[in-house]
Amino acid sequence: MLLLDPARSTFDEMLRGYAVSMRSRGLSESTIRGSQYGVRRFFRFAGTYPWEWRPQDVEDFTSSLLSGGEPLAHSTIRGYHQVLKGFCGYISHPAYDWVDVCMERFGSTPAQICHPWNTFAHLSEFEAKPARRPFGYDELEAFFEHADQRAHDLLEDRRKGALPALRDAQFFKTVYAFGLRRREAVMLDLNDLRPNPYVPEWGAYAKVQVRYGKAMKGSPPRRRTVLACPEFAWASEGLRYWVEEVRPRLAGESDALWISERRTRITTRAVDQRFAEIRDAVGLDRALTLHSLRHSYVTHLIEFGYAAQFVQEQVGHNHSSTTAIYTSVGDDFKNRIFQEALRRVLGEGATA
């Protein structure tokens, strides 16, 4: 077959073949699309085709990612490196025929261009920006108070958007009170709310069944059950009010717990936007994100005295080290622990 543009056609064939390879490993379509995007972005930067790529192209690409107005996070750049390493490993592997095809068509062969000496290593459990942190108690109170007041004002004035404002306030409280990731919360259905026989007075709002937990690479979403804790009983009452009093006024055919005015499931983009609006209106640190509510949950459970293993199970972490990096206990908690240690070692009358 005569190819009008052999180089571009070969590159496109490589990308399609790599997509098939990733599907065979059980990777999700979103992961596949992200990998293809990363390869194409590097292709546009390098201005050459894969059989012409060299290790120095990776170094130049990394430098460009670090030299922008706002340099990319360590984890983002490492992600690009992993994508390139996987793609180059595929097209240079002897199990496939890309080396022979490229030699025959272009007189050059693809090779692995990502090595330990020119790519970012995964050396730390926590790779987010140092400014990322949990909410303080005062910040949480200000955030939730503003969300509630926004809904109250719209209701008082009988203005459009009152019901979505009530939904948003309860959504953020639920994310915090159950330590949920953004997508985990968005994907909840009514049937995911469960009772706990130990607290029958909480009815169907004592557990949350998470069905879309963060997946391991090549595996389906992980499931877990999150128990409502007594310190957050107010969130269970808020859920009851949302489900039984407010949501029926919006409900259509959807089983989604959180629905829009169009009677469809809300989106992660929408909740990010609502969160930013409330955060900025209160004047809180812009480093606080929706995920900071989950960090706050972990931190506050530890401060309340819950065992680390319980907290790990609640938030769905595989390793205790991951839970540990989420924890940023306050000075009051540390001072209390220190005072208890003094009394334990030096006697009841000892104080700092």
Mean per-residue pLDDT pooled into runs of 10, the chain (352 residues) = 78 95 88 93 95 95 83 82 95 94 94 91 52 83 93 82 91 95 94 92 92 76 89 92 90 84 90 95 92 90 85 78 53 55 58 54
| Nearest partner of 325 among 287, 304, 306, 299, judged by Cα | 299
CA atoms within 13 A on the CB side of 318: 6
| Nearest partner of 284 among 171, 167, 147, 110, judged by Cα | 147
Q: What domains are defined for the chain? A: 6-106 (1.10.150), 137-317 (1.10.443.10)
Q: Assess contact for 282 and 142: CB atoms under 8 A.
A: yes
Give the pLDDT confidence score for residue 334 in this predicted structure: 54
Give the pLDDT confidence score for residue 123 in this predicted structure: 47
Give the pLDDT confidence score for residue 105 in this predicted structure: 93
- Name beta bridge partners: 256: 189
* CB-based burial label for 332 (10 Å; 0-12, 13-18, 19+): exposed
Residue 103's alpha-carbon distances to 2, 107, 351, in angstroms, are 17, 4, 77
Q: Assess contact for 149 and 127: CB atoms under 8 A.
A: no
| Nearest partner of 20 among 90, 105, 75, 112, judged by Cα | 90
Cα–Cα dist 15/35, whole Å: 9
- Six-digit token pair at 126? 């926590």
Give the pLDDT confidence score for residue 218 in this predicted structure: 62
- Six-digit token pair at 59? 């170094």
| Nearest partner of 315 among 179, 209, 184, judged by Cα | 179
Which phi and psi angles does 183 have, rounded to 5°?
Answer: -70, -35
Q: Assess contact for 195 and 204: CB atoms under 8 A.
A: yes
Q: What is the DSSP letter of 193?
A: E
Q: Assess contact for 126 and 325: CB atoms under 8 A.
A: yes
First to last CA, the chain: 84
- Six-digit token pair at 155? 């209701």
Whose tokens are 């949480």? That residue is 140
Give the pLDDT confidence score for residue 340 in this predicted structure: 59
Amino acid identity, residue 139?
Answer: E
Give the pLDDT confidence score for residue 282 in this predicted structure: 93
